[in-house]
Amino acid sequence: MLSNERMIKIALLGTKDLMKDTIDILHSLKIIHIIDFKEQNDTFQIGKPLGEVSKYSEILLSIRSILSSFDIRPENIKETYTKREFTRELEIDVLKTEKEIKSLNEKISKLNSVIIEIGKLKTLSDIEDIGLDKSFLKSFNNIITSKSDLENQKKIYNDKLELLIKEKSSHFLQYEDFLSSEIDKMEAPLRFTTSTNTFLVEGWISENKFNPLQKTIKNKFGDRVHLEKVRYSDQESIPVEFKHPSPVKPFELLLDLFEYPKSREIDPTFAIFITFPLFYGIMLGDIGYGLIIFLSSLLLKKKFKTEGWKMLLGILEYSSLYTIAFGLIDGEFFGFDIFHLLEIEEIFGIHMPIIDRIVDFMPVLILSISIGVLHILLGLILGFINIKKAHGIKEAILEKGSWIILIISFIVIVISSFFSQALIYLGGGLLVISIILLLLGEGFIGLIEIFGIMSNILSYVRLMAIGLSSVGIAIVINSIVMDIVIPKGGVFIPLGYIILIVGHVGNIMLGILASFLHALRLHYVEFFTKFYEGGGIKFKPFGTKY
């Protein structure tokens, strides 16, 4: 689960006359991440695009401008494109439709300006009493009454335009899809190495897809196109393709926002999957808010179908479950003390609420800091593994081991103050060892960094503080409404409910955003700095749309 798809580097060599067929095959397989060739000398050059790319691009541009100006999105269309070839018909269809739209638009805008002018005339209609000629006034009135005819005409044109768009939109989406992949194929040689008569493609492919590809190539071209594995070093930027189970998948977004992991380092997505919703839940911790986030993310998932939105809503959905769980522990429902109001003292013999975090903030504070210590310890351990893999055990002990021992000694000392005094010697011993290692590894500057790690740990206090501020606002809203506004009676009752709704909507927005950002920040700033290098590239196979 912590390791990703293994990539190998391949090279594909063939004669130029087979280039087009090869591109077609690679494009349909969608398994190769092509490495762009950079021209270095005169012997090998980048290839020339195939066919009439510029003509295709021009038509694609027209299609896209129509699609975007009428806000036509692929998710609204159900049919799929079946005809996969460029015909004269397609071109004529696009050009004709474009012309029609243009002429309709022109007519509408002309009518619009005339209507506006007539609208101005209307203000002049009360000039009867200044002694103008009767017939002049009559023709003047005729113009004004003709306004409704013009508006009707405008409506007809508008309907015509709408009908045209409705009729063409599905076709145009299909054209767009087809043309963009076609252009992708035609421009592919720009990424290849070519000589006068041959071409060479270099790329990455996941290990288990190599054999099928070899078979396909062999069947199609025999020996005329040659495929082989190429040796590569660990230092090269190998693209990363995640293979996470579906619940973990949304959390890839958080790495996408930051930086992709390098292929040789540990992929932290799984760790984020465990801790991110936990932090979110601790901070927000309210049954009502959790339910609202859960339901709205389920609803929005139906509406927003793009990859990014789906991931974001997936994260929110999962985090809201933790929010509800911590809401039960804190006994909060839209800021109301739910168990107290319902007069529930205990459930299954457990006193409810388990922690009232407004009154007993100390336990939450201690919990927050303990979570911080453990989270940073986890980060350091991951860092230890990374460095051990890259530079060996000695470096790992000096660079990360010292910090791990330091934090363990801190834990031991704290525990000893509760349980047994003897443990303090163990803690002290570990502390001395860790400081010696620190001096060996990082020198005197390492001692100063102890303060850095202390402030990192203290930063987890926000788990308590953000939650407290969100509850605080909720309680203020509730008490304004319940204790001040509603007791006044009369018109104040509906007003009270308006304040209640507006206040809680605002607080939910703040809560979603603040909890999300701070949970994110704890990962990016406190957690990732302990082990994460980043700067890797995403695996983008040739043939996929992006």
CA–CA gap between residue 352 and residue 350 (Å, rounded): 6
Regarding 358 and contact with other proteins (CB under 8 A), the answer is no
Regarding 465 and contact with other proteins (CB under 8 A), the answer is yes
Regarding 475 and contact with other proteins (CB under 8 A), the answer is no
3-state secondary structure of 261: coil
3-state secondary structure of 285: coil
Amino acid at 534: G
Residue 243 tokens, joined: 């293979």
Stretch that binds other proteins, among 179-187, 334-342, 416-424, 517-525 (CB under 8 A): 517-525
CA–CA gap between residue 453 and residue 527 (Å, rounded): 11
Which of 396, 464 has the CB closer to other proteins? 464
Stretch that binds other proteins, among 64-72, 169-177, 415-423, 519-527 (CB under 8 A): 519-527
Contacts for 467 with CB less than 8 Å, ≥ 6 apart: 282, 283, 284, 285, 357, 364
CA–CA gap between residue 141 and residue 133 (Å, rounded): 13
Question: Looking at 4, 174, 459, 478, which residue binds other proteins (CB under 8 A)?
Answer: 459
Which of 492, 524 has the CB closer to other proteins? 524
Helix segments in 459-540, DSSP class H: 462-479, 492-521
In whole angstroms, the minimum distance from the beta carbon of 514 to other proteins comes to 8
In whole angstroms, the minimum distance from the beta carbon of 362 to other proteins comes to 7
Regarding 466 and contact with other proteins (CB under 8 A), the answer is yes
Stretch that binds other proteins, among 161-169, 361-369, 423-431, 496-504 (CB under 8 A): 361-369
Regarding 521 and contact with other proteins (CB under 8 A), the answer is yes
Stretch that binds other proteins, among 223-231, 235-243, 411-419, 520-528 (CB under 8 A): 520-528
**Residue 471 class from Cβ within 10 Å (0-12 exposed, 13-18 middle, 19+ buried)?**
buried
In whole angstroms, the minimum distance from the beta carbon of 252 to other proteins comes to 13
Q: DSSP character for 146? A: T
CA–CA gap between residue 514 and residue 520 (Å, rounded): 10
Whether 357 and 336 have beta carbons less than 8 Å apart is answered as no
Residue 115 tokens, joined: 């209507």
CA–CA gap between residue 504 and residue 207 (Å, rounded): 52
CA–CA gap between residue 362 and residue 384 (Å, rounded): 33
Question: Looking at 378, 461, 473, 495, which residue binds other proteins (CB under 8 A)?
Answer: 461
Regarding 1 and contact with other proteins (CB under 8 A), the answer is no
In whole angstroms, the minimum distance from the beta carbon of 348 to other proteins comes to 30
3-state secondary structure of 185: helix
Question: Looking at 185, 262, 462, 530, which residue binds other proteins (CB under 8 A)?
Answer: 462
**Residue 163 class from Cβ within 10 Å (0-12 exposed, 13-18 middle, 19+ buried)?**
exposed
Residue 420 tokens, joined: 């047994």
Question: Looking at 7, 10, 283, 468, which residue binds other proteins (CB under 8 A)?
Answer: 468
Stretch that binds other proteins, among 147-155, 172-180, 404-412, 516-524 (CB under 8 A): 516-524
Stretch 231-270 residues interacting with other proteins (CB under 8 A): 256-258
**Residue 545 class from Cβ within 10 Å (0-12 exposed, 13-18 middle, 19+ buried)?**
exposed
> Site for other proteins (CB under 8 A): how many residues?
22
In whole angstroms, the minimum distance from the beta carbon of 271 to other proteins comes to 18
Residue whose tokens read 């205990």: 346
Contacts for 140 with CB less than 8 Å, ≥ 6 apart: 121, 124, 125
Regarding 524 and contact with other proteins (CB under 8 A), the answer is yes
Which of 93, 259 has the CB closer to other proteins? 259
Question: Looking at 518, 527, 536, 539, which residue binds other proteins (CB under 8 A)?
Answer: 518
Which of 221, 524 has the CB closer to other proteins? 524
Regarding 520 and contact with other proteins (CB under 8 A), the answer is yes
Question: Looking at 458, 476, 493, 509, which residue binds other proteins (CB under 8 A)?
Answer: 458
Question: Looking at 86, 242, 361, 492, which residue binds other proteins (CB under 8 A)?
Answer: 361
CA–CA gap between residue 278 and residue 138 (Å, rounded): 78
Stretch 363-392 residues interacting with other proteins (CB under 8 A): 365
Residues that bind other proteins (CB under 8 A): 256-258, 361-362, 365, 455, 458-459, 461-462, 464-466, 468-469, 517-518, 520-521, 524-525
